[in-house]
Amino acid sequence: MARSSSGFVAGLAAAAVATIAFLAYRAHADVPPGLGGRPGASATPATGAAKAPRDRRHPAALPGDSGTGERVVYSVDDDRVWLVGAGGRVENTFKVAPGTVDPAPGTYAVTSRSKAVTGTDGVPVEHVVRFADVKGVVIGFSAAVDSAEPQTVPDPTLQTGGIRESRPDGDTMWMFATIGQKVVVIR
């Protein structure tokens, strides 16, 4: 009898550990903005980073000095994102509309994601991919639920970190940028 009881207890313990791990993963993926851990904990901003070189004939080409390996590259100056696969090939690129607060150039990692929330500007957004925090303003990519295009001009009286994408681009970002994905911010 003791042998079967210990097997039953071991089975219950394994099930409990698996349930806790799943719930922890779900809780981490649905962290509300501003509660994703220490501000800037995942960032290694570059000090005095110069603007990465651009191909003037092909403005949508991936800039040089934008990192290596699989990554999201975000250009603050060009308002453009590149999704770069593990082999260094650009899988997608698209224009975005930034919020009023920009992240510093550097290398970050995706810290949290939410399927749907309300942005700091009051707009319902989906496919939120957060990667930085600037003085309490959470920075991340998202798509406005009621718009096929990125928002154009954010309210300058609000401090917003939402980098808005079109809904199709938001879907693409959501599939590419999972927790821990490298994000390289350049000028």
The CATH number of residue 87's host domain is: 2.40.440.10
In this prediction, residues 140-162 reach a mean pLDDT of 83
Distance, CA of 57 to CA of 54 (rounded, Å):
9
Give the C-alpha separation, 161 to 142, whole Å: 10
Q: Is the pLDDT of residue 31 over 60?
A: no
- Is the residue at 60 inside a domain? yes
The answer to the question of residue 8 being in a domain is no
Give the residue among 51, 152, 155 at the shortest CA–CA distance from 105.
Answer: 51
- H or E segment to which residue 83 belongs: strand 80-84
The answer to whether position 22 is within a domain reads no
Q: Is residue 160 part of a domain?
A: yes
Residue 6 falls within a domain, yes or no? no
Overall number of domains in the chain: 1
User: Phi/psi at 49 (nearest 5 deg)?
Assistant: -65, 130
Query: For the residues 118-136, what does the mean pLDDT come to?
Result: 94
Q: What is the pLDDT of residue 176?
A: 98
Average pLDDT over residues 8-33: 45
| Element housing 3 (H / E) | helix 2-29
Residue 20 in domain: no
Closest by CA to 115, choosing from 125, 124, 126, 123, is: 126
Give the residue numbers spanning the domain of 92. 31-186
Residue 23 included in any domain = no
* Domain-embedded: residue 25: no
Give the count of beta carbons closer than 10 Å to the beta carbon of residue 84: 23
pLDDT greater than 70 at residue 133 = yes
Q: Which of 80, 30, 20, 71 is nearest to 180 (CA)?
A: 71
Indicate the pLDDT class of residue 65, thresholds 50, 70 and 90: confident
108: closest CA among 179, 32, 164, 8? 179
Q: Which two tokens stand for residue 130?
A: 């957060």
